[in-house]
Amino acid sequence: MFSSKKSSAAKGSWIKDIYRKDRSLGIVISVDEQTNMMLVRFPKGGNDTWVVWQNHGHYKVINP
């Protein structure tokens, strides 16, 4: 498994998706540590998306 020095988000954290350029800020709705996924609501796009929870540099936590 990869190790990462990036902090992972928690429920209620705002994140900025770095990997995809079509998303802006999102808020974490829930985290499922068993599947390593988190449900993120992107208000600007008007959708909820499952994103990999363990951060390998694909998102930036705005407020930990």
Give a yes or no: residue 9 inside a domain.
Answer: no
Q: Which domain holds residue 45?
A: 14-61
Q: Whole-prediction pTM value?
A: 0.83
Give a yes or no: residue 8 inside a domain.
Answer: no
Give a yes or no: residue 3 inside a domain.
Answer: no
Q: What is the pLDDT of residue 1?
A: 46
> Cβ contacts of residue 63 below 8 Å, gap of 6+?
13, 14
In this predicted model, what pLDDT tens digit does every residue of 4-60 receive, in sequence order?
567 899 999 999 988 877 678 999 999 999 999 999 999 988 889 999 999 988 999
Give a yes or no: residue 6 inside a domain.
Answer: no
How many separate domains does the chain show? 1
Give a yes or no: residue 39 inside a domain.
Answer: yes
CA–CA separation, 64 vs 55, rounded Å?
A: 13
